[in-house]
Structure 1
Amino acid sequence: MATFVKAQVASLSASIIDFLTTLVCTQVFHFWYLLGSVTGTTVGGIVNFTMGRNWVFDARERNVKLQIIKYILVWAGNLALTTAGVYLVTHYLHVNYILSKIIISCTVGTGYNFLMQKKFVFI
């Protein structure tokens, strides 16, 4: 249970960075909302990997190169799911892209990321 709570704290931290990056990219630099979302997801992914390896799963002793490769595979799935979800919810359901990103990120984060990191990346 402690690992799950730590993972949620790491995920929340990465999500805050993700959302701030997305907002800065779209609102300040006027990126297209999907490019802003991809940029935010990338930055958040780096934060999440670092926290997962060093704190959540305490996997510093394991092969970092293999972890990075596995994380990139999982992250690519996360990116695809998040980007597709944000696009579908925004474009077809006409929900604001920020709310779309919140809904999709929460769904993907709890239903995909935690399990893949625990059972595949940081073992």
Structure 2
Amino acid sequence: MGFKLKEFLKAQLSAFLGGMTDLGIYSFCYKVLNFSAPFSNAISGALGAIVNFLINRYWSFNNQKTPIANQLWKFILVVIGSITLKSLGIYFFVDRLQWDGILSKLLVEVIVSLGFNFTLQKFWVFKK
């Protein structure tokens, strides 16, 4: 159950791919469709999460023995928490401090992804 560097790096690559999906959709929603930053984040976060779940289940944590439904409900709770934390962070930086929307998104992504998402996915969602 301990920490494995290879697994951590795989999870980070998965998070990066999910994050790139998320960022592309976020940018489109925020810059092209003119949705608010927090709403753009909610949409993009949900779609990026799908990419992240599939990569993590089949590659990063390589756990197909646990029924997908058992992992999925836990993953959904993590995603809801993650999107909430990210939306609050983006709201704080963009709407309160008037920071750039894309820079704020990137900063909040790193903080929440490393501190919240990885820990819960490794030790709860995809735990073997």
Q: Normalising by the residue count of structure 2, what TM-score does the alignment of the two structures yield?
A: 0.92
For residues 38-77 of structure 1, the aligned pairs below 5 Å read 38-77=42-81
Question: Which blocks of at least 5 consecutive residues in structure 2 are unaligned?
Answer: none
Which amino acid is 2:37 matched to?
Answer: Y
Corresponding residue SS for 2:23: helix
Which residue number corresponds to residue 7 of structure 1? 11
Corresponding residue SS for 2:63: coil
Distance 1:83 1:101 in 2: 9
Shift of 1:29: 2.1
Deviant stretches of 4+, over 4 Å: none
The structure 2 residue matched to 1:118, chosen from 119, 122, 126, is 122
Which amino acid is 1:52 matched to?
Answer: N
Q: Deviations for 1:41-100, whole angstroms, at most 9, x for unmatched residues?
A: 111111111111010000112110010000011111101100000001112221111111
Which amino acid is 2:11 matched to?
Answer: A
Q: Normalising by the residue count of structure 1, what TM-score does the alignment of the two structures yield?
A: 0.96
Identity, in percent, stands at 31
Instruction: Count residues with an aligned counterpart.
Output: 123
